[in-house]
Structure 1
Amino acid sequence: MSNLFCLLTPEKDSVPLKSIDAQLEVKDHVATLVSTLNFENKEDKPLETVFVFPLPGDAAVCHFSAQIGETHIVAEVMDRQQARQVYDDALSSGQKVFVLEESDESPDIFSLTVGSLPPGESASIRLEYVTELAVQADDGLRFCLPVVLNPRYQPRGSEGPSVQVTSVPASLVPYSLSFSARVSSPHPVSKIESSCPLEPLQYLNADQTQATVKLATGHKFDRDVELLIYYKDAHRPSAVVEAGQVSAKPGTLMGDPAVMVSLYPEFPESVTSNFTSCGEFVFLLDRSGSMDFPTYCGSRQSRIASAKDTLMLLLKSLPMGCYFNIYGFGDSYEQVFPKSAKYNQKNLKRAVKKVEEMGADLGGSEILEPLRQIYRQPCIPKHPRQLFIFTDGEVNYTKAVLDEVKEHSEFHRCFSFGIGEGASSELINGMAREGGGHAQFIVGKERMQPKVMQSLRFALQPLVTDISLSWDLPEGVSVTTLSLPLTALFQGQRSLIFAQLTGECSEAADGCLTVRFTTAGHPCQNQLHFSLQPACDLDFDQKEDMPFARSSIHRLAARTLIRSLEQEQREHGKPEEIEKVVDLSVQSGVSSIFTAFIAVNKSNGEPVQGPLIYRENPTYMPLLRGGLIDLMFDDSWGEKNIFRRICSSIRKRTSASKFGKACKNNLFSASSFKKNQSESIENRGDCEPTEPARDPLLELVSLQDASGCWLLDPCLAAALGKSIEELVKTRPSS
């Protein structure tokens, strides 16, 4: 079954969405995306369309507008309940109205409602958001324009109607996508790679610090549009100061300068040379029905196969003497050992056999109970617990899961892996954030190994505690740190800090940030000196196309503070926290769970006459993992909470090294036998996965013993494509 869907009306007519234009601007580590969605109502009745789509969980939605003919309407941010009342009033009066709001349960899902679009009329919706780009294991910065919104599973007993989902081949998608990106940085742009075909990279200046790239014509909706951006010598600590908005009041977040600090903590050599080899490693594998879907449409590998390959690499790379266990979850859960077992060849062999037998056969994605079972197990003295979670992220109750991870964060670190396209960024990133670990997204095999090894390296690093920040600024300048307190630091991994600067100083003034922490019993500190002069904007010739990009750091800072206040409100339930969130959201123009963007065109509105037909046909379509629902009004529409109805309908349909380790005892080096493998995978409309031949490297790793050695036997010879005699001749004398 495909996870790539498109909407057709009950009469098999195409959806009113006709085309999508996405423009990306990347400034160093910050990305601003502008998406323009063009709708046209070809029916003979007024039409209401609800477009449900995900965004990165840490994205700041900062602009929403609509163009209807010659009329341009810019939305304003207001309290959500007030926005819903305005929407109902406008809709009942026949006015054109548009509303954008995020999910109560998962802040990476939004709904866009295009209200009362008359017959024959067109509308263009412009949506803009800003987000930071995560640094990958190979030092590339990853931006992803997802194509699939996976249905989110609702546990048994939850409210919400069952929904039938209609899938269609990518070749029949009735709209087009254009995508272009503009990249600028103080460092030269060395290359840009993508999972989709791109036109050649175009540099805009001699020092190659500015470049543009476009999606090649003829792109099919069969996979995420993923960009990997590589800078030369980019991964160093830095701080960027952005001037406040002239129109904003001084003393406010938007009126004062904001600073974004990128930290790359350095540990003393006395710590790095003695990274521990102990630990309890607990692996939690999603075995729900959707894990049987392909990692992306056209892929020959299922999500469960990808997750098992990822898990196999980790199992073969654990240090001798540690402890480990494996859980699989769906409607129920299973575990390999009654409690965590010592890592040795006997237990590894048993675990590998169990993993090979695992399938996507446990039903729904009820992850809370196995999490609680893991947390109920007593910790093993001198073996810090490291939890690795593999899931496609199709969980509806994201906040409950994150709260559970956070509650037990003192006793473990959580490393999460999003498997396949459509994995919830809020869930995957959130579990790592709340558990003081690291998140990875794995769609194909091409970058699996470095990602797996990076997470394991982080897990083997000692726990960092007592993290504190201190600012040294000129007299007359004060600072307010906006980010949540740092709970985790890893050698070589980027951490972001946002702060508001208040006061005035000379243009030549400098500041200093000192980060103090303790790791492996050693007190450490890192310092970063930076200029307080606002950075010059890296302008493009067409910068007016993205006016909001000029305040990108302020928008991200506001989003960071909004998330912090939302969390405090959720934990303590204080009404004053809601007021703070609403005030900040309105001031900054950044969305929150308590506000919504609303745009109303009050001209030529006429009340809707007679009983109206309500039509619901929720399915999922390939834009921003998005889904469309075509709706005709009914006479009680004003009393309905549209977004709750939509979210309740998004349900998941369930079905019944040691590699890289320096080991002197190794008989063979796995890397020396790695083979290049190129396969032409036909883009099939049904997108059914068929398991491909196993990757040679993974086959080799699967034969490795717990100690890091390989037995010289026929299986090894077959994996290497050699005879036993040939291997004996090349065996090292030691």
Structure 2
Amino acid sequence: MMVNCCCGLLTAKKEPVPLKSVEVELEVRDHVVTVVSTLTYENKEDKPIEAVFVFPLPGDAAVCHFSATIGQTQIVAEVKEKQEAREDYDDALSSGQQAFLLEESEQSPDIFSLSVGSLPPGESASIRLEYVTELAVQADDGLRFCLPAVLNPRYQPQGGDGASVQVTSVPASLVPYSLSFSARVSSPRPVSKVESNCSLDPLQYLNTEQTQATVKLASGHKFDRDIEVLIYYKDAHQPTAVVEAGQASAKPGSLMGDPAVMLSLYPEFPEAVMSSVASCGEFVLLLDRSGSMDSFMNNSESRQTRISSARDTLLLLLKSLPMGCYFNIYSFGSNYEHIFPESVEYSQMTMETALKKVEQMGANLGGTEILKPLKHIYSQSCIPGQPRQLFVFTDGEVGNTKQVINLVKKNSGSHRCFSFGIGEGASSALVNGLAKEGGGHAQFITGTDRMQPKVMQSLRFALQPAVEDVSVTWDLPKGVSATVLSPPITALFQGQRSLVYAQLTGQSSEAAEGSVTVKYSLAGHPSQSRLHFGLRPAEDTGLTVHRLAARTLIRSLEMEKSERSGQPDDGVKKKVVEVSVQSGVSSAFTAFVAVNKGDGKAIQGPLVRRDVPIPRLMMSCSMPRMMACCAMPMDLSNQMGSPAAFDGFAACQKSKPHRKKMGRLSKQDAMHVQPSQPQSMAMRSSNALVGFMGGSGNMCLPKQTPRDPLLQLVSLQKASGCWVLDPDLAAALGKTREEVENTKPASVNQEVWATILALIWLHGFKKDAQEEWELLAMKAVSWLRAQNAACVAECVEAGNTVLGCHMQKDALGL
């Protein structure tokens, strides 16, 4: 079936879009941020309308305020049990009153729906949405904030219970509303710099200590990417504690009435231990091969697709694994495949077998059903003495997020999970949730980021000695006790922060102090670190810590509810609703609702629904011209990046969202878009064409491009760590066969000579990419040491002459 091609329509029938502008303001305090978004709606039609907007937020955000201003009247929304809130909204619309509803998806905590009901002709409304969230720590000590720019269609597995969601989209250049973005940063430590993937105006310091600063988005921002901001403080890795006073109006003894504390812990591990690399482990790599992985990574000239970058990354990973470990590679789409029936020992033969399979992998497996391969992986018996490490690569577009995360949590005792969100719009709830519940580490690859260094950093974490038996103990004054609201810490990594929230009950003097001790076992040796802090509440923190603490508790309770699904009501949902209502923080079981009773006059005329369109995300690699024209409107000049809009607001076309559980667009729904409906972003590039052509999606195989010289050299390394002296190596080094063979010192083994040449080339020409090849170079050095080769210094000198370098033996690790 073909879909009408009509490029650039705002809605199916050229209806006006009521959203006019989005203003986003960040208030960053050290490691947490409060985000205030103001959305201005205007009804220029001659009849009352209902405007519906579906959008993503960070998966761990705590939405804590929702209000609307109409004229001089401000209406602040209340948090109510979800069904009750929907009924209030419906009743208000039925009686002709203005009403506003904000609700979180029950399948994924990073998707919200906003309904602006009964906006009269000529009327304007200003919506204020506020949330708080933690800032993630990056490898270079930067704190990352991401304003999601796109709600990618989420694949709902067959048999899923989510209702279908259809997205109205337009090219980025035609988004009919404006975006402004600014940030104010304050910290006890100086702000050294603020960077972004988007153009920013220069950083403005507000005091001489440089502990406060402001920055804003430069004018002319296009809706073509997520807005990512990286904030750098001096001495960022100092452990801290923030004590916050309770809400004066709340009942003492309650979460909001008592003081709350947020601990930011940074255990420091001995360098001697952390520099060692494990020589064992079972490494299970799980790669998304759904059609959306054929999208381009970014707008750069390289035009590399996500699946192509993932193949390069798997090459580096496989070359960097230690001899003696076990591994397997799974890939998934609508179904899943594995290279070996079960994990195999790492050797030259198994590595070569895997690499041949990896080279053939395309984004041709259809949908995104990650649950089935995960279940199969967990059904495999663990190998004694080989701790399981799971690496998941996905662009994060699934509809059953909570179900997937719950499965990982159930199996968290048998493995660690490292997750990678690829491209704009990857679900932060899924990617962060996999790592958090799997005791691993999450990474996001967006904009011009390269996947390889981020993945290799996580492999380094996975090869570090495991931290075991983690415990947190409190030492508080007499009469004061702490109720920890965070889940127990199960994973600690060098340079990584752990946040702990607790409710403090009881009275103490303002000068009183407390301390927290984190104990753990590292490489069989008991260790500990202690943080002292004052109990006097910090000033001007608002209720940020309380709201994040409430969100943490709500998430833990929701997970508990998910684990007990199918059993009699255990009161967990009731507890979630109670905490949510008391704290004013959203949950899967509650919603914000506001009704403007005004002067009691009912709004006249039938209510017309208006869906707000989003920028279109389409980055397929080589879509045939005919199919591109028939399948959906295209404007590739605007679509090779990702769409952007406010907090990534996406438009949605659902029937009565307040009466129907939020869901996702299933693959079946995507294939049956009626010509009379708005052009849908339900089908992203390859997935759409798979449906239309009835094929396997194999038509978008990557074009063969010359391999990067680094990857060419890496591809020639043996599993043991050495290189072989042959014409391929000479070509990778940029030399002829005669040049590398005739200069070999006479008494030296050919493989030793080849390996030293490769190490010199890596250090001499690819120092800027050391994160990518460091582990495989360490393996090469270990192999050389085991050879007890003579004349190493002579080889290094000769190698320098051949390659035109000036490397010292010590610099190579020899």
2:686 maps to 1:626: no
- Decide whether the 8 Å contact of 1:92 with 1:608 is kept in 2: no
User: Please, which of 500, 507, 526 is the counterpart of residue 510 of structure 2?
Assistant: 507
Q: Report deviation, 1:24.
A: 0.7
Q: Secondary structure at the match of 2:499?
A: strand
- CA–CA distance in structure 2, aligned partners of residues 559 and 165 of structure 1: 28
Unaligned runs of 5+ in 1: 538-548, 657-687
Q: Which has the larger radius of gyration?
A: 2
- CA–CA distance in structure 1, aligned partners of residues 702 and 356 of structure 2: 23
- Decide whether the 8 Å contact of 1:619 with 1:628 is kept in 2: yes
- CA–CA distance in structure 1, aligned partners of residues 611 and 21 of structure 2: 22
Q: 1:550 to 1:723 in 2, by over 3 A?
A: farther
Equivalent residue, structure 2, for 1:705:
718
Q: Secondary structure at the match of 1:308?
A: helix
- Decide whether the 8 Å contact of 1:618 with 1:630 is kept in 2: no
* Residue correspondence of structure 1 range 259-408 to structure 2 within 5 A: 259-267=261-269, 271-272=273-274, 274-296=276-298, 300-408=303-411
- CA–CA distance in structure 1, aligned partners of residues 221 and 736 of structure 2: 44
- CA–CA distance in structure 1, aligned partners of residues 468 and 457 of structure 2: 21
Q: 1:160 to 1:76 in 2, by over 3 A?
A: closer
- Decide whether the 8 Å contact of 1:153 with 1:394 is kept in 2: yes
Residue identity matched to 1:552? T
Q: Report deviation, 1:555.
A: 0.9
Q: Report deviation, 1:138.
A: 1.3
Q: Secondary structure at the match of 2:651?
A: strand
- CA–CA distance in structure 1, aligned partners of residues 49 and 128 of structure 2: 19
Equivalent residue, structure 2, for 1:564:
556
Q: Secondary structure at the match of 1:42?
A: coil
2:424 maps to 1:421: yes
* Residue correspondence of structure 1 range 332-731 to structure 2 within 5 A: 332-444=335-447, 446-537=449-540, 550-572=542-564, 574-607=569-602, 622-623=644-645, 624-629=647-652, 641-644=659-662, 654-655=687-688, 656=690, 695-723=708-736, 731=757
- CA–CA distance in structure 2, aligned partners of residues 554 and 598 of structure 1: 22
Q: 1:570 to 1:368 in 2, by over 3 A?
A: closer
- CA–CA distance in structure 2, aligned partners of residues 86 and 150 of structure 1: 30
Residue identity matched to 2:721? G
- CA–CA distance in structure 2, aligned partners of residues 182 and 233 of structure 1: 20
Please, what is the CA RMSD of the aligned residues? 2.9
Q: Secondary structure at the match of 1:84?
A: helix
Q: Secondary structure at the match of 1:113?
A: strand
- Decide whether the 8 Å contact of 1:105 with 1:396 is kept in 2: yes
Q: Report deviation, 1:345.
A: 2.5
Equivalent residue, structure 1, for 2:207:
205
- CA–CA distance in structure 1, aligned partners of residues 584 and 740 of structure 2: 66
Greater mean deviation of Cα atoms: 260-269 or 39-48: 260-269
- Decide whether the 8 Å contact of 1:306 with 1:419 is kept in 2: no
Equivalent residue, structure 2, for 1:540:
none
User: Please, which of 31, 54, 57 is the counterpart of residue 56 of structure 2?
Assistant: 54
- CA–CA distance in structure 1, aligned partners of residues 456 and 350 of structure 2: 22
Q: Secondary structure at the match of 1:627?
A: coil
Q: Report deviation, 1:347.
A: 2.1
- CA–CA distance in structure 1, aligned partners of residues 608 and 185 of structure 2: 47
Equivalent residue, structure 1, for 2:67:
65
Q: 1:234 to 1:309 in 2, by over 3 A?
A: same
Equivalent residue, structure 1, for 2:105:
103
Q: Report deviation, 1:93.
A: 0.8
- Spell out, residue by residue over 1:299-327, the C-alpha distance to the aligned partner (whole angstroms, 9 max, x if none): 72322123223333322221122111111
Q: 1:722 to 1:598 in 2, by over 3 A?
A: farther
Q: 1:691 to 1:6 in 2, by over 3 A?
A: farther
Residue identity matched to 1:100? L
Equivalent residue, structure 1, for 2:193:
191
Q: 1:610 to 1:295 in 2, by over 3 A?
A: same
Q: 1:575 to 1:532 in 2, by over 3 A?
A: same
- Decide whether the 8 Å contact of 2:81 with 2:591 is kept in 1: yes
Q: 1:93 to 1:646 in 2, by over 3 A?
A: farther
- CA–CA distance in structure 2, aligned partners of residues 242 and 188 of structure 1: 22
Q: 1:172 to 1:276 in 2, by over 3 A?
A: same
- Decide whether the 8 Å contact of 1:302 with 1:690 is kept in 2: no
- CA–CA distance in structure 1, aligned partners of residues 12 and 342 of structure 2: 52
Q: Report deviation, 1:166.
A: 5.3
Residue identity matched to 1:462? P
Equivalent residue, structure 2, for 1:674:
none
Q: 1:322 to 1:100 in 2, by over 3 A?
A: same
Q: Report deviation, 1:149.
A: 0.6
Equivalent residue, structure 2, for 1:660:
none
- CA–CA distance in structure 2, aligned partners of residues 252 and 98 of structure 1: 29
Q: 1:411 to 1:529 in 2, by over 3 A?
A: same
- CA–CA distance in structure 1, aligned partners of residues 439 and 110 of structure 2: 20
Q: Report deviation, 1:617.
A: 8.7
Q: 1:322 to 1:405 in 2, by over 3 A?
A: same
- Spell out, residue by residue over 1:353-398, the C-alpha distance to the aligned partner (whole angstroms, 9 max, x if none): 2212111000011111111111122211111110100001111011
Q: Secondary structure at the match of 2:381?
A: coil
- CA–CA distance in structure 2, aligned partners of residues 231 and 511 of structure 1: 26
- Spell out, residue by residue over 1:26-72, the C-alpha distance to the aligned partner (whole angstroms, 9 max, x if none): 11100111111111122222211111111111111011011112211
Residue identity matched to 1:644? M
Q: Report deviation, 1:344.
A: 2.3
Equivalent residue, structure 1, for 2:763:
none
- Count of aligned pairs between the two proteins: 684
Q: Secondary structure at the match of 2:585?
A: coil
- CA–CA distance in structure 1, aligned partners of residues 349 and 665 of structure 2: 47
- Spell out, residue by residue over 1:542-584, the C-alpha distance to the aligned partner (whole angstroms, 9 max, x if none): xxxxxxx621111101111111222223333544222222222
Q: Secondary structure at the match of 1:459?
A: helix
Equivalent residue, structure 1, for 2:252:
250
- CA–CA distance in structure 1, aligned partners of residues 705 and 201 of structure 2: 30
Q: Report deviation, 1:629.
A: 3.6
- Spell out, residue by residue over 1:219-272, the C-alpha distance to the aligned partner (whole angstroms, 9 max, x if none): 111111101111111112221212222332322222222111111123456744
- CA–CA distance in structure 1, aligned partners of residues 209 and 559 of structure 2: 44
Q: 1:471 to 1:567 in 2, by over 3 A?
A: same
Greater mean deviation of Cα atoms: 269-278 or 688-697: 688-697
- CA–CA distance in structure 1, aligned partners of residues 703 and 162 of structure 2: 33
- CA–CA distance in structure 1, aligned partners of residues 739 and 509 of structure 2: 73
- Decide whether the 8 Å contact of 1:7 with 1:629 is kept in 2: no
Q: Secondary structure at the match of 2:14?
A: coil
Q: Report deviation, 1:595.
A: 1.2
- CA–CA distance in structure 2, aligned partners of residues 157 and 569 of structure 1: 21
Residue identity matched to 1:627? A
Equivalent residue, structure 2, for 1:122:
124
- Spell out, residue by residue over 1:103-144, the C-alpha distance to the aligned partner (whole angstroms, 9 max, x if none): 111111111111111122211111110000110111111000
Q: Report deviation, 1:203.
A: 1.0
Residue identity matched to 2:536? Q
Residue identity matched to 2:202? P
Q: Report deviation, 1:725.
A: 6.2
Residue identity matched to 2:287? L
Residue identity matched to 2:62? A
- Decide whether the 8 Å contact of 2:168 with 2:652 is kept in 1: no
- Spell out, residue by residue over 1:518-559, the C-alpha distance to the aligned partner (whole angstroms, 9 max, x if none): 34333322211112222233xxxxxxxxxxx62111110111
Greater mean deviation of Cα atoms: 311-320 or 32-41: 311-320
